[in-house]
Amino acid sequence: MRLTSEQQQLRDEVRRFAREEISPCVTLMEKDERFPYQLVKKMGDKGWLGIPIPTRWGGFGGDFISYIIAIHEISKASAAVGVILSVHSSVCTLPILHYGTKEQHESYLNRLASGSWLGAFALTEPQAGSDAAAIRTKAVRDGQDYVLNGTKLFITNAGAAQLYLTFAVTDPSEGAKGITAFLVESSFHGLSIGNKERKMGLHGSNTCELVYEDLKLDQTQRLGAEGQGFAIAKGSLDGGRIGIAAQALGIAQAALELIMQRFGGKVRLRSAAAQQNQRELTELTAIAEAAKLLVYRAAYMRQEGIRCTKESSMAKLYASDAAVRIAGAAVKMLGMEGCLETAGAERLFRDAKVTQIYEGTNEIHRIVISGQLLRS
Ligand code: CAA
């Protein structure tokens, strides 16, 4: 696939920013697990928190592939910053663009696209992870208002975000079709943010519980129609999973780069160990290239408005497995050095794992892919 000159220009600029601005912050994020507010602000100033948002809403006016390029390049330096951008854009800002009213566009898109606000996606609950339609957070009608009660778990960007795209049950008798989406601002009375989880990887990104307690919402805060929430969640996740796949691809390529730095120029064909390393390097490179093709094919389809449920699941499944495999190989091939914090490989290995788990576990993606295959 050939990138347009605009896409190439953005790629080069993001790559430079990742190297010069993000990479130097990684050690601090690893150590203090502190959310990188300053980096997010700088990215917002460059327009990158609104890449696929039209300029009339304060966005960058780029296409979906440009947005995926940004996550891919950023994640080579920091997968934590990559997921902050991915969740903010794919599953908060874009659903508002696609399903929001004119008033919701006016209230929220400018703030989210400029980065003055950060977005989050609140679907998962203690008893509803993979089985997302089993959520229990309730939104009960009270005249013109809704009253929300419930708990959300493992919410990326929580605490740092000002807007939470929240899914709640409005009609329990309708199952998935009784779920509705709402726009909940962090300042709304009744929303509280739980403790930040300590994770094995992605140390700069926030993951927290959210509690909604008698939170009153005007009906203008509903996104889409009553009962449309699950379709909004799943449709948005089709795009979101391409973002996570791009994040995984960035991790995989960063790990491959570490292996190349270690072994480049040291090829000795006669040594059995060198031959083994060459075989492994060849295989890992092919895996990373295949992941890249799947990621950019899915991004192309999304950009063209072609339904890509199967392709985005395939990209996410394959690229996340590739990230774990290649980062694991980097730790192994760098030997003891690979286990040291200073080498970077162990961080990539820790960061890679969750890409197989969030935005649908890879087991769920196997179900989604086979469901799509058997349906056609
Ligand atoms: N686009 C639009 N609408 C869709 C859709 C899609 N891709 N997929 C489903 N729908 C709608 C349809 O209206 C569908 O009804 P029909 O069957 O009549 O068409 C309805 O939703 C129900 O769909 P399903 O039958 O697929 O629903 P299900 O309950 O069987 O889904 C599941 C099962 C696939 C496992 C689903 O629960 C799922 O995707 N689970 C994973 C949850 C997940 O990805 N969570 C991510 C959390 S966010 C996160 O991780 C962010 C982060 O931190 C990085």
Ligand 1 centroid – CA 151 distance (Å): 19
Instruction: Determine whether the shortest distance from the Cβ of 313 to ligand 1 is under 6 A.
Output: no
Instruction: Determine whether the shortest distance from the Cβ of 61 to ligand 1 is under 6 A.
Output: no
pLDDT at 264: 75
pLDDT at 269: 56
pLDDT at 22: 98
Ligand 1 centroid – CA 272 distance (Å): 49
CATH superfamily, region 5-117 = Acyl-CoA dehydrogenase/oxidase, N-terminal domain (1.10.540.10)
Instruction: Determine whether the shortest distance from the Cβ of 231 to ligand 1 is under 6 A.
Output: yes
Read off the pLDDT of each residue in 39-49 and give the average, rounded to a whole number.
97
Q: Of all protein residues, whose CA lies closest to atom 14 belonging to ligand 1?
A: 231
For the stretch 141-192, pLDDT in tens is 999 999 999 999 999 999 999 999 999 999 999 999 999 999 999 999 999 9
CB atoms inside a 10 Å sphere around CB 118:
26
Q: Of all protein residues, whose CA lies closest to atom 10 belonging to ligand 1?
A: 231
Has 359 been annotated as catalytic?
Answer: yes
Q: Which residue has the higher pLDDT, 276 or 101?
A: 101
Q: Say whether pLDDT at 268 is over 90.
A: no
Ligand 1 centroid – CA 21 distance (Å): 36
Q: Of all protein residues, whose CA lies closest to atom 33 belonging to ligand 1?
A: 131
Which helix or strand (DSSP H or E) is residue 186 part of? Answer: none
pLDDT at 341: 87
Residue 277 pLDDT level (bands cut at 50, 70, 90) = confident
Tokens at residue 92, please? 């908060």
Residue 274 pLDDT level (bands cut at 50, 70, 90) = confident
**CATH fold group of domain 120-229:** Butyryl-CoA Dehydrogenase, subunit A; domain 2 (2.40.110)
pLDDT at 376: 63
What are the residues whose beta carbons fall under 8 Å from the beta carbon of 180, sequence distance 6 or more? 139, 167, 168, 169, 170, 222, 224, 225, 226, 227, 228, 229
In the numeric block, the tokens 């605490």 are attached to 159
- What is 323-373 written as a DSSP string? HHHHHHHHHHHTGGGGGSGGGSHHHHHHHHHGGGTSSS-HHHHHHHHHHHH
Ligand 1 centroid – CA 233 distance (Å): 7
Residue 270 pLDDT level (bands cut at 50, 70, 90) = low
Question: pLDDT averaged over the chain?
Answer: 96
What b/e readout covers 6-21, taking b as 16+ CB neighbours within 10 angstroms? ebeebbeebbebbeeb
Ligand 1 centroid – CA 234 distance (Å): 4
CA 230 to ligand 1: nearest atom: 21
**CATH fold group of domain 237-375:** Butyryl-CoA Dehydrogenase, subunit A; domain 3 (1.20.140)
Q: Which of 239, 251, 247, 358 is nearest to 300 (CA)?
A: 239
**Hey, which of 209, 230, 354, 375 would you mutate to test ligand 1's pocket, going by the most ligand atoms within 8 Å of its Cβ?**
230
Residue % of the chain over a pLDDT of 70: 98
**Hey, which of 83, 153, 205, 234 would you mutate to test ligand 1's pocket, going by the most ligand atoms within 8 Å of its Cβ?**
234
Return the domain boundaries, the chain. Answer: 5-117, 120-229, 237-375
Instruction: Determine whether the shortest distance from the Cβ of 368 to ligand 1 is under 6 A.
Output: yes
For the stretch 303-357, pLDDT in tens is 999 999 999 999 999 999 999 999 999 999 999 999 998 889 999 999 999 999 9
Ligand 1 centroid – CA 204 distance (Å): 28
pLDDT at 343: 86
Instruction: Determine whether the shortest distance from the Cβ of 156 to ligand 1 is under 6 A.
Output: yes
pLDDT at 266: 61
Q: Say whether pLDDT at 115 is over 90.
A: yes
Calpha distance 318→334 (Å, rounded): 24
How many Cα atoms are found within 13 Å in the side-chain-facing hemisphere of 134?
Answer: 7
Residue 159's Cα: distance from chain center in Å? 17
Instruction: Determine whether the shortest distance from the Cβ of 243 to ligand 1 is under 6 A.
Output: no
Q: Say whether pLDDT at 78 is over 60.
A: yes
